[in-house]
Amino acid sequence: MNGKKSKINISKNTSRVALLGILSAQALALSFIENFIPPIPGLPPGAKLGLANIVTMFTASTMGFTSALCVTIIKALFVGSTRGVTAFFMSLAGGVLSTIVMCVLLQIKKNPFGILGVSVACAIAHNTGQLIVATIISGTAMFASYAPFLLFFALVAGCITGSILNVLMPALERQSSFFRR
């Protein structure tokens, strides 16, 4: 290479796919790590912070709906392979509904909700999707009694994940800039 830096010509699509792969891997890693957090007493079984949504929200805000949906589906497949079919459907329903809400809110001009507001709305949507699946699977509406607890938890979890995203946003943007040359 005779001392000169060579420029590698990578297409925009290849860069986009590579970035999406890295973001998906980060979401999977956060989902995996979250499994080590012990259950919080008083919350319905399976209630989680939704740390992977940090990456999904970043993906939605920088790459759009289709890419965010890809991260959501990849994460749901991971959950299904590690925790079973019921967990897959719960993750998929909650994730897809959350991603739709996320992308709609991020499209609003001047985003009056901010990342924190979007994160809380996504957590509420995610829990709603999971309650719908639980109701369908069980054939009864008994899971609706969890709704008030899940609403409170969604407020807390949404604030936590939104705050973490605010802190991590510069690092995620720097990472992404390597793929936008």
18-67: per-residue pLDDT in tens? Answer: 999 999 999 999 999 988 888 877 777 777 889 999 999 999 999 999 99
Domain ranges of the chain: 12-177
pTM score: 0.87
Interval 143-156: pLDDT, tens: 888 888 889 999 99
3-state secondary structure the chain: CCCCCCCCCCCHHHHHHHHHHHHHHHHHHHHHHHCCCCCCCCCCCCCCCCCHHHHHHHHHHHHCHHHHHHHHHHHHHHHHHHHCHHHHHHHHHHHHHHHHHHHHHHHCCCCCCHHHHHHHHHHHHHHHHHHHHHHHHHCCCHHHHHHHHHHHHHHHHHHHHHHHHHHHHHHHHHHHHCCCC
Chosen CATH of 12-177 out of 2.130.10.10, 1.10.1760.20, 2.30.42.10, 3.40.50.300? 1.10.1760.20
